[in-house]
Amino acid sequence: MLQWLNRLERTLFPPRCALNAGPASRFDLADALVAQLRPVLDTPHCPRCATNTPDGHLCAACLNTPPAFDQVLAAWWLDDTLKTLLHRMKYGRRPDFRLTRLLSELMAEQLPRWQPRAQALLPVPLHHNRLRERGFNPSDWLARDLGRRLDLPVLRGERLRDTPHQAQLSGRARRRSLNGAFTAPAAVAEFDTLAIVDDVLTTGHTAHALAQAVRTVHPDAEVEVWVLARTPVL
Ligand SMILES: [Zn+2]
């Protein structure tokens, strides 16, 4: 049924590059741009937070202050193409289903390589002020599309505090500002393994705070973090 729906969608809306960068045959993105995307799994990275490390060992941050999540499953390294697509998704006036489909297809293309175990998805919630301002939650749209594609339920948490933007705070201050910022729904207790879903992972503080909220409800849960893109450390 789901595959049939996906095929129908493809027939009704055949591939067309969202950035008008040339012919597209598999995704709504030019084949030339797809070929330039770099999968995180093809580069040495920290097994926990997926940051790029020279030797593929646990990074210093995960060694010193282990995050509350178990593993980040990141599809691609964040590059200019993904930045442009994500910016368009986030700041569009309304949800663009073709763009959401493109981003979730790009995620779904790489996720099986990580052998994900999650039985339910938990998108990073937006504070209601931000939700009102923006009109929709991009992470929620991404999780919904992925959930449909992979046949997984989507749960919803709550963001209790509207935290200052990452760019305005130092790393430690940001991590502190996110303490207790989220609550997880009671339904997380029904699943052994959950995946927090977000578009990009940079510092990992947001995912850490939401994973803490999951553990408050379900201390033994295994928490994966699924993201479309991981910001590389240069
Ligand atoms: Zn790490």
- The alpha carbon of 78 and the centre of ligand 1 are apart by a number of angstroms equal to 17
Position 39 scores a pLDDT of 98
> Do 146 and 116 share a domain, yes or no?
yes
Burial of 202 (0-12, 13-18, 19+ CB in 10 A): middle
- The alpha carbon of 60 and the centre of ligand 1 are apart by a number of angstroms equal to 7
| pLDDT band (50, 70, 90) for residue 169 | low
> Do 110 and 210 share a domain, yes or no?
yes
pLDDT single digits (tens) 172-186 = 777 777 888 899 999
> Do 75 and 5 share a domain, yes or no?
no
pLDDT above 70: percentage of residues in the chain: 95
> Do 83 and 174 share a domain, yes or no?
yes
> Do 16 and 106 share a domain, yes or no?
no
**Alpha helices by DSSP H, the chain:** 2-12, 31-36, 60-64, 80-91, 97-110, 128-134, 138-150, 171-177, 205-217
pLDDT single digits (tens) 49-103 = 999 999 999 999 999 999 999 999 999 999 999 999 999 998 887 888 899 999 9
- The alpha carbon of 7 and the centre of ligand 1 are apart by a number of angstroms equal to 38
> Do 164 and 209 share a domain, yes or no?
yes
> Do 130 and 146 share a domain, yes or no?
yes
> Do 72 and 24 share a domain, yes or no?
no
* Other Cβ atoms within 10 Å of 131 Cβ, number: 15
- The alpha carbon of 14 and the centre of ligand 1 are apart by a number of angstroms equal to 39
**Angstrom distances, CA of residue 213 to CA of 33, 127, 160, 181:** 37, 15, 11, 8
Lowest pLDDT segment from 20-24, 49-53, 168-172, 226-230:
168-172
Instruction: Tell if the pTM clears 0.85, that is, is over it.
Output: yes
> Do 134 and 67 share a domain, yes or no?
yes
> Do 140 and 129 share a domain, yes or no?
yes
> Do 24 and 100 share a domain, yes or no?
no
**Domain of residue 43, residue span:** 38-230
The domain total for the chain is: 2
The two tokens of residue 121 are 């998805």
